[in-house]
A and B are shown apart, each in its own frame.
Chain A
Amino acid sequence: MTRLLLADDHPIVLEGLAALLQAEGFDIVARCPNGDAATAAIATHDPDIAVLDIQVPGASGLAILRGIRSRGAARPKVIILTASLDQNQIVEAVELEADGLVLKEQVADRIVECIENVASGVQWIDNDVLKRVIGDLARREARAVATKPLSARETEVARLAARGLRNRDIGQALGLTESTVKMHMGNAFDKLGVSSRAELAAMARDLGLA
Chain B
Amino acid sequence: MQLIPCPWCGPREEAEYHYGGQAHIAYPDDPQGLTDQEWAQYVFFRDNPKGPFAERWMHSAGCRRWFNAVRDTATHRLLTVYRSGEPRPEVPTP
Question: Do A and B form a real pair?
Answer: no
